[in-house]
């Protein structure tokens, strides 16, 4: 029998609840009902805020259930509209604003006025890396966000691109979050996916390696690794302090069905609970 990790918070709040976004596309009512069913369960500790687009904010605020919300805008979204929606959450009774996710653009700094955490999305590749210096000028409060799942306008980044992103964030002392595609623990080509999907355990191990001074090539290899036992073994060997440092860098990732990765953690013996 495998021995679970020591009781530190490597996975706590790792999963931002993106139930209403593709490929889940759950109706808001169902997304909220799912959150309610998880409250008080062993799985709840691993799940962060509910991610919502501007179009669903009014409907969410009409809900009697207190919600912790992050307002999300994809590339091309209006910063003004995102701020207006976020201000509605702040002014609402019973609900709370966890943060704002918005694309990098000329006016992204306007969102700093609300004083909540921001996740500023950049594209993969050299163009995105050039924007890191603009984001690092802001002291605290801001994470960098990269899309790791494909959209009609953005393919899945390569291991080299994701590795360069992680190393680039560390070089600028920036924390990051990811979104899309991280449905499975280990990198692979899931049946029906038609493309490689990164494993979220790969990202945790790759982040640990980058923090230890590994270069982009070594980080790339870990992101592409299919060696389940080695990846899980690395995570099982972590000290509490090292785990905390990883999570201070890799903040979270958006997931449309948060129970899938929680089940995977349980299956690999990385958490004590059998979900």
Residue 258 to residues 43, 165, 206, 265, Cα–Cα distance (Å): 9, 24, 21, 11
3-class SS at 178?
A: strand
Overall CATH class of domain 15-266: alpha beta
- Distance CA(51)–CA(18), nearest Å, equals 5
CB distance 66 to 94 below 8 Å: yes
3-class SS at 150?
A: coil
- Distance CA(149)–CA(254), nearest Å, equals 10
Enumerate residues 6+ apart whose C-beta is below 8 A from 206: 162, 163, 166, 219, 222, 223
For residue 184, what are its two tokens?
Answer: 């499975």
- pLDDT computed for residue 7 by the predictor: 43
DSSP class per residue in 43-101: GGGGEEEEEEEGGGHHHHHT-SS--EEEEE--TT--HHHHHHHHHHHHHSSS-EEEEEE
In the chain, where the domains are located: 15-266
User: pLDDT of the chain along its 275 residues, tens only?
Assistant: 344 455 458 999 999 999 999 988 999 999 999 999 999 888 999 999 999 999 999 999 999 999 999 999 988 899 999 999 999 999 999 999 999 999 999 999 999 999 999 999 999 999 999 999 999 888 778 999 999 987 777 789 999 999 999 999 999 999 999 999 998 999 998 766 668 899 999 999 999 999 999 998 999 999 999 999 999 999 999 998 999 999 999 999 999 999 999 999 999 989 876 55
- Distance CA(6)–CA(8), nearest Å, equals 6
Q: What b-and-e string marks burial along 140-176, b requiring 16 or more CB atoms within 10 Å of the CB?
A: eebbbbbbbbbeeebebbebbbbbbbbbbbbeeebbb
| The model scores a pTM over 0.85 | yes
- Distance CA(130)–CA(125), nearest Å, equals 9
- Distance CA(206)–CA(266), nearest Å, equals 21
- Distance CA(200)–CA(107), nearest Å, equals 31
- pLDDT computed for residue 192 by the predictor: 62
């Amino acid at each position: 029998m495998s021995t679970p990790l020591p009781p530190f918070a490597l996975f706590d709040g790792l999963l931002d609840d993106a139930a209403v976004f593709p490929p889940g596309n759950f109706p808001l009512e169902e997304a909220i009902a799912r959150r309610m069913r998880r409250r008080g369960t062993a799985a709840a500790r691993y799940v962060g805020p509910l991610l919502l687009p501007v179009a669903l904010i009014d409907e969410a605020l009409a809900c009697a259930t207190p919600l912790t919300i992050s307002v999300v805008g994809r590339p091309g979204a209006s910063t003004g509209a995102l701020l207006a929606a976020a201000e509605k959450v702040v002014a609402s009774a019973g609900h709370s604003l966890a943060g704002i996710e918005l694309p990098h653009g000329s006016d992204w700094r306007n969102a700093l006025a609300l004083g909540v955490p921001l996740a500023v999305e950049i594209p993969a590749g050299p163009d995105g890396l050039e924007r890191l210096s603009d984001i690092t000028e802001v002291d605290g409060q801001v994470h960098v966000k990269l899309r790791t799942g494909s959209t009609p306008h953005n393919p899945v980044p390569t291991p080299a691109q994701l590795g360069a992103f992680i190393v680039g964030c560390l070089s600028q002392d920036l924390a990051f979050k990811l979104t899309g595609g991280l449905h499975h623990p280990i990198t692979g080509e899931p049946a029906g996916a038609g493309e490689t999907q990164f494993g979220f355990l790969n990202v945790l191990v790759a982040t640990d390696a980058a923090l230890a001074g590994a270069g982009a090539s070594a980080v790339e290899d870990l992101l592409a690794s299919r060696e389940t036992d080695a990846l899980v073994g690395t995570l099982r060997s972590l000290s509490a302090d090292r785990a905390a440092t990883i999570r201070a860098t890799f903040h979270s990732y958006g997931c449309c069905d948060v129970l899938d990765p929680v089940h995977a953690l349980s299956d690999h013996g990385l958490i004590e609970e059998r979900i």
